[in-house]
């Protein structure tokens, strides 16, 4: 199996709002706005690589520009995932692939495989989600991968918080794995830890303080209005 060994880039994931996995990045709702964005390469193929996460999923978007003459109607992007930060070929046990069946019509399929001795086998249960879309010369691939921790299955890499995982990004031109792979590069993603319990009360305390301050201001404003009303009444009585 052609694995590009030697991580070319290391990414610290950060939390953000979950995007819709449809192959389209919607700027009107600031989709992927909080993602860590890098320019990277799959071998000699330049790509935009975006990474972010929530408490449930890791999200990865890959965008690449190719002239129509360089396109293949059945191109694909795959993520071959190690079960740890190890780049040993035997540790890459999981594959998520977005495969175009007809790129000009934006027809694609999302596949989930586990890898045994370089053989790609269909998962019993499909894990994660993926979508792709070609617009002009840019194809956009979006992946959603569950962060399962110890609750993952043997057929999938068990992504977990505050840990690092090696991802091999693959580009291919035919729906045959791994023989259809033409280019690949390995990256390292550090999944952020969940907010600690100490951080939550700080936010809650700040929220309570804001409520108290505005409540005091409201009482003072009401007292001020009451004083004005009474002063006006006193002036009216004097005039009489």
pLDDT of residue 4 exceeding 90, the answer is: no
Q: Are residues 184 and 90 in the same domain?
A: yes
- Show the domain range for 100: 9-190
Give CA–CA dist 39/51, Å, rounded. Answer: 12
Q: Does 3 reside within a domain?
A: no
Share of the chain above pLDDT 90, in %: 71
The pLDDT confidence band at residue 142, using thresholds 50, 70 and 90, is very high
Which residue carries 């879309």 as its tokens?
Answer: 133
Query: What's the confidence (pLDDT) of residue 239?
Result: 61
Query: What's the confidence (pLDDT) of residue 25?
Result: 95
- Rounded to 5 degrees, φ, ψ at 82 are -80, 155
**What integer best gives the mean pLDDT of the chain?**
88
Q: Are residues 86 and 59 in the same domain?
A: yes
Q: Are residues 84 and 137 in the same domain?
A: yes
Q: Are residues 149 and 236 in the same domain?
A: no
Query: What's the confidence (pLDDT) of residue 210?
Result: 78
Query: What's the confidence (pLDDT) of residue 205?
Result: 63
Share of the chain above pLDDT 70, in %: 87
Q: Does 154 reside within a domain?
A: yes
Q: Are residues 177 and 208 in the same domain?
A: no
Close Cβ partners of 36 (under 8 Å, ≥ 6 residues apart)? 11, 12, 13, 14, 50, 51, 52
pLDDT in tens, 161-214: 999 999 999 999 999 999 999 999 999 999 999 977 554 455 566 677 778 877
Q: Are residues 35 and 105 in the same domain?
A: yes
Mean pLDDT for the stretch of residues 35-42 = 96
The 3-state DSSP class for residue 215 equals: helix
Least confident of 39-43, 119-123, 168-172, 223-227: 223-227
pLDDT in tens, 52-65: 999 999 999 999 99
Q: Are residues 119 and 182 in the same domain?
A: yes
Domain count, the chain: 2
Query: What's the confidence (pLDDT) of residue 218?
Result: 75
Query: What's the confidence (pLDDT) of residue 221?
Result: 73
Which residue carries 């992927």 as its tokens?
Answer: 32
Q: Does 90 reside within a domain?
A: yes
Q: Are residues 126 and 69 in the same domain?
A: yes
pLDDT in tens, 76-109: 999 999 999 999 999 999 999 999 999 999 999 9
Q: Is the CB of residue 145 less than 8 Å from the CB of residue 36?
A: no
Query: What's the confidence (pLDDT) of residue 204?
Result: 60
Q: Does 60 reside within a domain?
A: yes
Q: Are residues 78 and 133 in the same domain?
A: yes
More confident residue, 113 or 4: 113
pLDDT in tens, 214-224: 778 777 777 67
Q: What is the DSSP string of 127-164?
A: -SEEEEEEETTEEEEEEEEE--GGG--TTS----TT-E
Mean pLDDT for the stretch of residues 16-33 = 95
């Amino acid at each position: 199996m052609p694995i590009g060994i030697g991580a070319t880039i290391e990414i610290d994931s950060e939390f953000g709002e979950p995007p819709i996995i449809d192959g389209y990045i919607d700027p009107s709702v600031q989709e992927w706005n909080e993602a860590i964005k890098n320019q990277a390469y799959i071998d000699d193929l330049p790509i935009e690589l975006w990474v972010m996460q929530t408490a449930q999923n890791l999200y990865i978007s890959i965008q690449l520009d190719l002239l129509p003459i360089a396109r293949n109607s059945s191109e694909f992007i795959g993520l071959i995932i190690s079960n740890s930060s190890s780049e040993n070929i035997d540790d890459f046990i999981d594959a998520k692939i977005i495969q175009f069946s007809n790129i000009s019509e934006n027809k694609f399929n999302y596949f989930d495989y586990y890898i045994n001795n370089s053989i790609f086998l269909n998962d019993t249960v499909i894990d994660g989600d993926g979508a792709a879309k070609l617009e002009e010369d840019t194809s956009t691939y979006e992946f959603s991968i569950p962060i399962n921790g110890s609750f993952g299955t043997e057929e999938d890499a068990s992504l977990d918080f505050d840990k690092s995982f090696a991802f091999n990004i693959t580009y291919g031109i035919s729906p045959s794995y791994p023989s259809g792979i033409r280019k690949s590069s390995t990256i390292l993603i550090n999944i952020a830890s969940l907010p600690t319990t100490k951080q939550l009360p700080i936010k809650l305390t700040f929220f309570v303080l804001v409520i108290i301050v505005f409540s005091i201001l409201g009482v003072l404003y009401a007292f001020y209005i009451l004083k004005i009303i009474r002063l006006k009444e006193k002036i009216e009585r004097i005039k009489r």
